[in-house]
Structure 1
Amino acid sequence: MDWEKTVAALLSENEKLGQENEQLKSLLCVVKENRDLRARTRSFNNDTLEEFSVSSPSAGKPSSLWQTTFDDRQFREHLQQTKTSNEHRTSSPVDLKSFIQSSMHTDTNETAEVQSCQADNPPEVKDRLLGEIAYQLDRRILSHVFQGHKRLYGFTLLNIPDKIIEVTTHPLTGKIDDGYRVHLTQRYSNLMDRLNQLGYKATLHPPFTEFIVNTYGILKERPGEYSTQAKVYNNPDFLGKLIMSTAPRKLQKDLLLVLTCLCNMAEKDRKPLLLW
């Protein structure tokens, strides 16, 4: 009887993983379409700029800022056409706007700084910020579980159970530190329970964040610790708007969920959203 229940559970889990795998394939297609769209938009922009230069030789060469703004506006207009007026963007039970307001402190100049940073960031940086959000959540989870380990090379969310076994087993004698293993397992379980309440799925979102990082990359240059750029990048409102204006529509719900989880962890450990 127990064997039959085990087989049924495994079949159910296999079916669930198959469905989530199909969902990830669908997300990959969306990102590819997004890249093709941007390539076509940039090509259109280049042709337009050439015509502008030929027809107005006395006007001089358009600035890179004008070209970037034009390119970004075209892409935003395309995204806006695909949005529905009353679509619910996140599966998280936590209202992102109210969570942001309750967990972060703002000053009177913050809105102006956010708007300025949105205008100054080129499309490539905006894309990399999407990857940075996903990367930061992954690192945050690993650092929380393996709190005593400064180097996490080779650690991923997908191999946490294996790494718990590895770090609690003596490399020479093979002796198991049962107490430490229970401690790490409990930390991982408690964190997953907390994030699950926000809508995080341990079988879906680890490969999703890995996919986002591999697709968009992460920031090449870290902002100065006390710079305006660092302040804006650590503003959840800015990051939420960035997701809505930059990410493909089908990725927005899960990216907002990733941001919500990151905000939750930052609030608990009283540290900035983005850590370097």
Structure 2
Amino acid sequence: MASYESLCSQLEKLRCENAELRMMLDIVKENYDLQSKLSTQTIDETVGREVPTDSRKLERLVGEVAFQLERRILFHVFPGQARLYGFTVLNIHEKIIQVSRHPLTGKVDEAYRYQLSQRHMELMNKLHALGYSATLHGPFAEYIVNTYGILKQRPDPYSAEELGYNNPEFLRNVIIKIAPSKLLKDMLCLFSCLCFMARQDGKPLFLW
């Protein structure tokens, strides 16, 4: 018979899982409502008056969304890694092997490798529910960053610009205005994943 502590632990786990499911459902519903709106209105009618006219900065914002999601995934999988230079979503498996091997002896820390692999698998399962595929959206995110660039400098703290960058509705409207129709669906998928991860960890959309 399960102990009281075990039952409490299982109950708490179920509560956390239900909270994550609610977040996912909210995000999916937001995207569904958005797609419905776009099917009956032109993009210009929907967002034309809601975003600034500096097109180059808006393009960089689109690239920044893809860049921020990539960093967020990497920071989640490798929470103790001080530097992530050379780390990408596409080479996560290689990097898990690399960081779990002692640099001098070459001995593998199997427990640490398993821990990182589990973090990666659990996150991918959650993002998959939002339509994310690492094999598709990993190179897609790199393409978006290379095509649109990223922000050259972070905004001043507490400025209107910083508030805008962390406003989901504002960023969604920027994506709709800038991304061509053939890229829009996958770009909104990246954005949904970024929103989910931000809600999950309670941090701003953009981490500087």
What is the CA–CA distance in structure 2 between the aligned matches of 1:151 and 1:93, rounded to whole Å? 31
Letter matched to residue 136 of structure 1: Q
Letter in 2 for 1:206: G
Shift of 1:259: 0.5
Superposed CA deviations along residues 227-254 of structure 1, whole A, max 9, x for unmatched, are 1110011111111111111111111111
Moved over 6 A (4+): 114-117
Aligned residue in 1 for 2:203:
271
- Which residue identity lines up with residue 171 of structure 2 in the other structure? L
Q: CA-to-partner distance for each residue in 1:81-136, whole Å, 9 max, x for gaps?
A: xxxxxxxxxxx981226999xxxxxxxxxxxxx998823x5110010001000000
Which of 51, 55, 64 is the equivalent residue of 1:118? Answer: 51
Give the match's secondary structure for 1:171. coil
> What residue identity is the alignment partner of 1:94?
V
**CA separation in 1, counterparts of 2:164 and 2:32?**
18
Distance in 2, matches of 1:141 and 1:191, equals 8
Percent of residue pairs bearing the same amino acid type? 54
Aligned residues of 1:97 and 1:237 also touching (Cα < 8 A): no
Contact 1:117 1:229 (C-alpha < 8 Å) held by counterparts: no
Query: How far apart in 1 are the matches of 2:114 and 2:31?
Result: 37
2:29 aligned partner, one-letter code: D
Letter paired with 1:154: G
What's the counterpart of residue 255 of structure 1?
187
Decide which structure has the larger Cα Rg and report it: 1
Question: Among 55, 58, 83, which residue is 1:151 paired with?
Answer: 83
Q: Answer yes or no: is 1:185 the counterpart of 2:120.
A: no
2: distance between equivalents of 1:216 and 1:210? 10
Q: Which runs of 5+ in 2 are unaligned?
A: 1-25, 35-46
Alignment match, 2:98? 166
Number of residue pairs matched?
171
User: Which structure 1 residue ranges, 5 or more long, are not aligned?
Assistant: 1-91, 101-113
Pick closer, same or farther for the CA change 1:98–1:224 going to 2, 3 Å. farther
Task: Give the distance between the partners of 1:266 and 1:204, measured in 2 at CA.
Answer: 22
Instruction: Write the deviation string for residues 137-177 of structure 1: whole angstroms up to 9, x where unpaired.
Output: 00000000000012100101111000000000011111110
